[in-house]
Amino acid sequence: METSKVVTRAEEFLRTAYHELGIMDQFPSRWDTVKQEIVDTGTWTQTTEEVSHGARMAWRNSNRCIGRLFWKSLKVVDARHVQNANDAFDFLDNHLHYAFNSGEIRSVITIFKQKLPGQDNGPRIWNNQLLSFAGQTKEDGSILGDPLRLHETKWFTARGWHFQGTAFDLLPVAMQWPDQEVCVRQLSLPEKMIVPLEHPDHPWFSALGLQWYGLPVISDMSLEIGGVKYTAAPFNGWYMGTEIGSRNLCDAHRYDIMPRVAQAMGLDTSSNWSLWKDRVLVEVNRAVLFSFHKQGIKISNHHDSAMQFLHFEDTETSKGRSITADWSWIVPPLSGSATAVFHKSYDNTVLDPNFFYQESPFPSQRKNKTGCPFHQS
């Protein structure tokens, strides 16, 4: 990023943050220092207070997230002093345990060091999430596990990683520090983290052998605050049931369980007129919510989440801020029009600070022009 752009973004962020934090009296002298550091080095070092508020603002500005009412409660772990992937793994283990909290999930972000000017990339966690299930193509061409993870799984397998061969084998995590070798490790799993799925009314459901993990930790996005990029900053919330019940399990390009469930329910799948898919979706979603509750793991349902989102809109408006959102992501993938967000429209402008997608470093997915898996434009 050009220095002039960093200066503009830094100033805008600092003004807003200091205003929101009620410490505007400290702004002038702080800005003098920061401006000089940017002129000297091309970037700047944020205080823990700045990076913490910046991370909370980034969540508040995440247009695709329905759970933003709770942005202020984000716990920030400042891990910017970590110098290698090996030490960083300990922070990831701690993140899982602290955030999972025996099922009383806390929203947490762990922030590793920023990308420096002149570096191709900062530190990276290669996986999309800290926890995810492997996906492998079997000899007969069918897929075992999560088809979304075929690329990652292939890479781990090629490096000699051995998977048990169930449909729910956890992937290890690959992590890389600038100018160092990529490191691979299996994170230590908190107790109760894996949820076997059962249905409150249909005893046969558990025989499908389905399960999911309790904590979604996005680990491949870049956190950008005032012209600074944190390329490794894993963060988590808790699940909304439809993410698992409608998408991960029922999408045809994911676990694709709808036909099997329909058969067990005795539905007529030969015609769309039976609405068999709609009926299956409802029951799978009930199973997810029921099983998480039974195991004592925090989860939300899409009706409550939509109401909380409206509340978020109100609190933001009352603070003089207008909210931005991506309607197609906010409307839940079940009974959309039965939730209030369906009947509204939103401005999808991307504000700073925010979280951004980055190119996957897994070699089989590289698409950039240079052919270098670590190159970032």
Please tell me whether residue 257 binds ligand ARG under the rule CB under 6 A.
Answer: no
CB of 184: closest distance to ligand ARG in angstroms?
A: 21
Q: Identify the sign of the CA torsion 116, 117, 123, 124.
A: positive
Instruction: Show the site string, 226-245: x = touches ligand ARG by CB under 6 A, - = not.
Output: -----------x-xx--xx-
User: Residue 247 catalytic?
Assistant: no
What ranges in the chain are assigned the alpha helix state H? 3-21, 27-41, 48-60, 85-100, 150-158, 241-242, 258-265, 276-295, 302-318, 327-330
Closest contact distance (angstroms) between CB of 300 and ligand ARG is 8
Query: Which one of 44, 59, 212, 238 is the catalytic residue?
Result: 238
Task: Examine residue 332 and tell whether it contacts ligand ARG (CB under 6 A).
Answer: no
Residue 230 has what DSSP assignment?
Answer: E
Quote the CA–CA distance of 349 and 358 in Å, as a whole number: 19
Contact 282, 315 (CB under 8 A): no
Nearest-10 Cα torsion for 361, 363, 369, 375: 30
Q: Decide if 359 is catalytic.
A: no
Which residue lies nearer to ligand ARG by CB, 38 or 299? 299
We find the least distance from the C-beta atom of residue 220 to ligand ARG, in angstroms, to be: 11
Candidates 243, 276, 283, 313; catalytic one:
243
Closer residue to ligand ARG in complex, CB, 121/127: 127
The residue with its CB nearest to ligand ARG is: 237
Residue where the block lists tokens 């019940």: 245
Q: Which is nearer to ligand ARG, 45 or 324 (CB)?
A: 324
- The catalytic position among 9, 60, 68, 286 is 68
Give the integer Cα–Cα distance in Å for 255 and 162. 21
> Is there a catalytic annotation at residue 224?
no
Largest Cα–Cα separation, the chain: 71
Beta carbon nearer to ligand ARG, 190 or 216: 216
218 binds ligand ARG (CB under 6 A): yes
What's the min distance (Å) between Cβ of 243 and ligand ARG? Answer: 4
Q: How far is the CB of 253 from ligand ARG (least distance, A)?
A: 14
Q: How far is the CB of 120 from ligand ARG (least distance, A)?
A: 27
Please say which residue, 115 or 149, places its beta carbon nearer to ligand ARG. 149
Residues 158-217 that bind ligand ARG (CB under 6 A): 216
Question: Nearer Cβ to ligand ARG, position 216 or 361?
Answer: 216
Q: Beta strands 108-111 and 75-78: pairing type?
A: parallel
Task: Choose, from 9, 56, 65, 124, the residue flagged as catalytic.
Answer: 65
Beta-strand pair 124-125/173-176: antiparallel
Reduce the DSSP state of residue 131 to 3 states and report it: coil
Cα gap 242→301, rounded to integer Å:
7
**How far apart, in whole angstroms, are the C-alpha atoms of residue 345 and residue 214?**
31
Q: Is 243 a catalytic residue?
A: yes
Binder of ligand ARG out of 43, 248, 335, 354 (CB under 6 A):
248
Q: Report the residue number, 216 or 227, with the smaller CB distance to ligand ARG.
A: 216
- Cβ atoms < 10 Å from Cβ of 95: 24
Phi, psi of 49 (to 5 degrees): -65, -40
SS3 159: coil
* Distance (Å, whole) CA 183 – CA 193: 24
Residues that bind ligand ARG (CB under 6 A): 216, 218, 237, 239-240, 243-244, 248
Active site positions, annotated: 65, 68, 238, 243
